[in-house]
Amino acid sequence: MNYPQLLSLAAPETILTLGAFLLLAVDLASPRDWSARLRFRIGGLLACAGCAAVMIWIGMHPGHINAFGGMLVVDPLTQLVKLVLLVLVLFAVLISIESTFTLHPGEYLALILLATVGLMFLVSAEDVLMIFVSLELTSLCLYVLTAFNKCSAKSAEAALKYFLFGGVSAAFMLFGLSLLYGLSGATNLRAIAAGLAGREGDPLLSVALVMTVVGFGFKVAAVPFHLWAPDAYEGAPTPSAALIASGSKLAVFFVFAKVLTLGFAGAEGSGAWHHFARGWTPVIALLAGLSMILGNLVAIVQSGVKRLLAYSAIAHAGCMLLAVMCHSGQSLASLVFYAATYGLTMLGAFGVVVVVESVAGDDKLCSFAGLSRRAPGASFCMLVFMLSLAGIPPLAGFFGKFYVFVAVLKTGAPGLGLFWLVALALAMSAVSFYYYLQVLKQIYAADSPPNAPSIRIPLLLRISLFLLAAGVILLGIAPDLLLGAIERALAAAGMDHA
Amino acid sequence: MLAWTIYSSFIGVLLLMVIPKDNAALARKVAILSALAGLIVAVAGFFQLKPGVMLHISTRSWISSLGAGYHLAADGVSLTLVLLTGLASMAGVLFSWNIQNRTKEFFALYLALIGAVYGVFLSFDLFLLFVFYELAIIPKYFLIAIWGSHRREYGAMKLALYSFIGSAMVLAGLISAYVVSGVHTFDLFVLARQPFPHGFQLWAFPLVFGGFAVLAGLWPFHTWAPAGHVAAPTAASMLLAGVVMKLGAYGCLRVAMTLFPEGLEAWKTPVATLAVVGIVYGGLVALVQRDFKFVIGYSSVSHMGFVLLGLATINTIGLSGAVLQMFSHGIIAGLLFAVVGRMVYERTHTRDLPALEAMGLSKSLPFAAVTFVLAGLASMGLPGFSGFVAELEILLGAWRAFPSIALVTGLGILISVAYMLRAMQKAFFGAVPSPVCHADQPPLEPVSVPERLGAALLLGVALLVGLYPRLLLDVIVPSFDSPLFDWLRKGGGR
């Protein structure tokens, strides 16, 4: 394989990188008297155009290539996940476009695109080295994006926490991966699994497994490695938090599932009630259970909406871990569907937070009081997002949960050994219903402060909120639109019986 | 065609979302037209049905990855309840004609609730049924939290959480049944034929039945009902008691009992016992309430106990009595809540029985007094009203299945006479006030035309069904011959 071939294989990532450079150049060249807001709009539209161009490229160039022993895998499944990822990034850019927190929109948007490049490489990687490198590329961009509000001490604090936790987790992960390499002599995931065959009881393997899970656990904010998340979500500029909660979640979960399913194939063990067996599934089951319990219970007492969303994100990570745990084709499909719809919903919710912040200056629950009379459209969108997060039909969040539960129970069939996890998840979703309703109660039932003017929402933001809400409703009513595509991609990529 | 009951409600919701915010008169018109359309379709569908024949409305496939279909159908049981929904929704709009605050939002939520309820009664695909079932929770919450009265946020949240926990139990049971059966469909007709393992039925039945029964007000999970009913605005409490509680009972019959007959056989005595405890307990608590609306709220718990008892008998007469009782209680409880919430409370601004006693409302609001007396008599189970036939059938059914429990149930009927008479006497026929000390107060606003229409509609139906119960029974009873009710015959039912 020569360089032109490699470039064409990695064309989506290349286009996006070039787009980021172009963005920087345009911002640099723009006249000095242009306001930051105008430059933000120009840059934002450029970034959106870049994402759209990459999506079109991916759509026109289906491929099925495994280059350099899994360093760069291009198949229908990774293409589809990248497409979803780009949609999420595009909306993250759209909700940032009216922001006023920075005077350097060029750099902000370029970092978003570069983080996306990292996420796209991550999705394509089946090699632990490549996984680590792209994860670091993404993380470094996200740390900076978190710190981008230079006027806010909270933003700096959040970024520092995120950075320190992230750095430690990277060390853990690297340790785990190096042990894996030592055990199997390979860096490709499938080769690792082959090399590990027959060593299921090896204590070194357990250490490698735990270290790897700790590393990824930090990235997806699963309990007990979640402590950075609430601070990062609260302190970061809202669009950055939205990106961390949506696009980055999707890609990291996808690769986490791949590492466990492919790399630790043969060491699954069992998490079924009364039939626990050593392996990685009971570990993930434990993390999932703890995340759902702690995330939901702590979210109840939050008074800030971003912190509330952060704890609910931890709870949702628990639900996605359930899908990771099942290591079947159906569960992988349910994971991608869940993460995609969850990302859309979170983006929308953060978009509404942007609206409220621009008026009230903070994201306290009481700042949402009476929103339905000041901004009926945005309030209705928030209703859709909150109910989807709570899992109320016919919204996408309900179907995502439903499909994950079906996948989990099918894994434990015929004895329904994993019913305990589904029961726990359902019980905790009742808890989550309470705090989502608290937000909606403020918006719809509480009285707005006297003489509060109605809120004018910028057109682009209004359109993107509307599109996100429409997407959440549409994917709830007709989940086959996305799910069918995922299942076809899985079958084409040969992962449907993973 | 019956599917248009659902669509007309949701079209009404969409229309209400786009009309201007301040045009309350237009919002009312949209609401009543949409409710009327639903009622007309329901009545037409009712007369179209041939007894004993399943009416399939739509059998399109929907989510192929799961095997969920858009399967709408109707038999006598569901049609009876669709008819009830049509009547209750119509009456509810008439009784909320005076809503001034955020009128269009009120009716949009109201119609969304109605549409979801129609959907539950017409769904024969369990996924679809569940979707409609959960969809109904959200409007209930907002109707109470925004337009409610006494402790509205508490009542609304309690009701929403109870409903959600109940539906989570149902969901756990449904997914398990889907996975255990191994079939790739949620179609009720297919799933009902699956022989589920006995051990599975033993724990799945209480899960699903209990989940639905929370909404039906099964003791001791009934506490949401009085709190929610009392907090709700009139139209919402009419719907809650009149229709939404029936969703729970209907789910018990249509899903839990149909899927898990062996589980039902094993659990029927505990269910019947809890139902009777609910009948007696609800009645006794109603007997000592000071708040007029709490009396009706607890009487609903008591009357829904009859429905659950009828279901637990597992014989044709008990079941048909249960379905008839659902209809009858829906009409009568709706009427009682209308009198208490709309006719009395919105004029006197108190529901405290001793305070009402001093007002002598039978003089100032004669229409309300007459309506309440008639509705109260119907609620006691006086012959000539629909409640009498229904409770008689349930008692007969219970006598065959559980003689000792049936005896206690008779006590429950006596208690219902006591608390109704007490409420009637205190609220309307208290001491006549001396004209001197009340002269400075403005006279109460007379009962309006929409209220009279709504009351006449509900009273007329209660009387019609009471005098000619075969109108409904001829539709209900033959539907038990369908293969869906095979368990009724296997279980020794007569």
The number of distinct structural domains making up chain A is 1
Residue A320 lies in a domain: yes
Say if A308 falls within a structural domain: yes
What is the rounded distance in angstroms from the CA atom of residue A106 to the CA atom of residue A24? 5
Contact assessment for residue A99 and residue A239, using Cβ atoms and an 8 Å cutoff? yes
Average pLDDT over residues A367-371: 89
Rg (CA), chain A: 22
- Is B490 contained in some domain? no
Predicted-complex ipTM score: 0.91
AA identity, residue B452? R
Is residue A119 situated within a structural domain? no
Q: Is B71 helix (H, G, I), strand (E, B) or coil?
A: strand
pLDDT band at B492 (very low <50, low <70, confident <90, very high): very low
Which pLDDT value is given to residue B440? 55
Q: Determine the 3-state secondary structure of A345 from DSSP.
A: helix
Residues B277-297: tens digit of each pLDDT? 999 999 999 999 888 888 998
Q: What is the pLDDT of residues B14-71, one digit of tens each?
A: 999 888 888 888 888 999 999 999 999 999 988 888 887 888 888 888 888 888 889 9
Is any Cβ of chain A less than 8 angstroms from the Cβ of B161?
yes
Which tokens in the block code for residue A240?
């950055």
Residue A493 lies in a domain: yes
Confidence of residue B493 (pLDDT cuts 50, 70, 90): very low
* Measured distance CA(B170)–CA(B207) in Å, rounded: 6
Domain limits for position A406:
269-498
- Residue B432 pLDDT grade (very low, low, confident, very high; cuts 50, 70, 90): low
| The pair of three-digit structure tokens given for residue A440, joined into one six-digit string | 């909606």
Q: Which B residues in the span 38-67 are in contact with A, Cβ-Cβ below 8 Å?
A: 63-66
d(CA B282, CA B63): 43
Assign B187 to helix, strand or coil.
Answer: strand
Whether residue B494 has pLDDT greater than 50: no
> What is the rounded (10 degree) CA torsion for B230, B236, B242, B246?
-100
C-beta atoms surrounding A480 within 10 Å: 18
Whether residue A410 lies within 8 A of chain B, CB to CB, comes out as: yes
What 3-state class would DSSP assign to B57? Answer: strand
pLDDT at B441: 64
Closest-approach residue (CA) in chain A for B172: A423
Q: Do A484 and B179 touch (CB under 8 A)?
A: no
Above 90 in pLDDT, residue B447? Answer: no
Residue A405 lies in a domain: yes
| Residue numbers of the domain that contains B126 | 4-434+447-485
Quick: pLDDT tens for A40-89.
999 999 999 999 999 999 999 888 888 888 888 899 999 999 999 999 99
Helix and strand element counts for chain B (H, E):
25, 2
Query: Does A306 reside within a domain?
Result: yes
* Contacts across the A-B interface (CB distance below 8 Å): 86
Distance between B340 CA and the closest CA of chain A, angstroms: 24
- Amino acid (1-letter code) at residue A282: P
Q: How far apart are CA A51 and CA A45, in angstroms?
A: 10
CA-nearest residue to A446 within chain B is B146
Q: Is residue B333 part of a domain?
A: yes
Task: Indicate whether B32 belongs to any domain.
Answer: yes
The span from the CA of B232 to the CA of B144, in Å, is: 5
Distance from CA of B168 to the nearest CA of A (A): 6
Helix or strand run (H / E) with residue B316: helix B316-337
Q: Considering its fold, how many domains does chain B have in total?
A: 1
Asked whether the whole model's pTM tops 0.90, one would answer yes
- Three-state secondary-structure class, residue B123: strand
Task: Return the pLDDT at A64.
Answer: 83
| A276 part of contact set with chain B, CB < 8 Å | no
Distance from CA of A372 to the nearest CA of B (A): 10
Q: Is A385 among the domain residues?
A: yes
Q: Which of A392, A406, A433 sits opposite B161 (nearest CB)?
A: A433
Q: Of B411, B181, B88, B162, give the one whose Cα is nearest residue B277.
A: B411
Q: How far apart are the first and last CA of chain A?
A: 28
Which tens digits make up the pLDDT trace of A94-118? 999 888 888 888 999 999 999 999 9
